[in-house]
Amino acid sequence: MRIGIYPGSFDPLTLGHLDIIERARNICDKLIIAAALNISKKPLFSIEERLEMIRHSCTSMNNIEIVTFNGLLADFCKERNVNFIAKGIRNRMDIDYEYAVSIMNRKLAPETETIFLLSRSEHSFISSSMVKEVASYGGDITSVVPQFVKQKLIEKFSS
């Protein structure tokens, strides 16, 4: 069985993430969507809220597993016998950064490949941080996040 993993902060999930999930799950038997517990920036959403948004947006997908992980992604990949890590690439900055990360991950987990999926052009500008900033000022984020996520952002910033 070919296992892929799509790791991220998902704070919150965007349509860009969903597109990568759809495409990555089509090239493996099982795709693990792994939300990191230890992220550098303080998240807006708790891990439970981030998982809820992923679950809600992926209900129709049958070959996925949604989990959290702590510590090194490479260790988690070895533990779960992951064949490949899927990363979405939006621009040159992503390439530079993800290139270095993939080399380090290969050193740490030589059995796990990293594959890069190029974002669709209409998603190439979307980032969770931009979505949060726009939502915090009451801007319309309908075209960049799932409806459920939009609702959660509105609730978060109105409370």
Q: Which residues bind ligand PNS (CB under 6 A)?
A: 7-9, 36, 39, 72-74, 101, 104-105
Beta carbon nearer to ligand PNS, 99 or 157: 99
Of 30, 56, 80, 90, which is the active-site residue? 90
Phi then psi for residue 142, to 5 deg, are: -55, -40
**How many Å apart are CA 82 and CA 53, to the nearest integer?**
24
Is there a catalytic annotation at residue 123? no
Phi then psi for residue 75, to 5 deg, are: -65, -40
**How many Å apart are CA 137 and CA 49, to the nearest integer?**
21
CB of 89 to ligand PNS, least distance (A): 11
| Sheet strands (E) in the chain | 3-8, 30-36, 64-69, 84-89, 113-118
Rg of the chain, C-alpha, whole Å: 15
Two tokens, residue 158: 């109105």
Beta carbon nearer to ligand PNS, 18 or 36: 36
Angle separating helix axes 47-57 and 147-158, nearest 10 degrees? 150
Beta carbon nearer to ligand PNS, 104 or 138: 104
Of 9, 17, 25, 57, which is the active-site residue? 17
Is there a catalytic annotation at residue 102? no
CB of 30 to ligand PNS, least distance (A): 18
Is there a catalytic annotation at residue 56? no
CB of 40 to ligand PNS, least distance (A): 7
Is there a catalytic annotation at residue 128? yes
CB of 159 to ligand PNS, least distance (A): 24
Of 128, 132, 150, 152, which is the active-site residue? 128
Cβ neighbours around 73 below 10 Å, total = 21
Beta carbon nearer to ligand PNS, 6 or 150: 6
Catalytic residue IDs: 17, 41, 90, 128
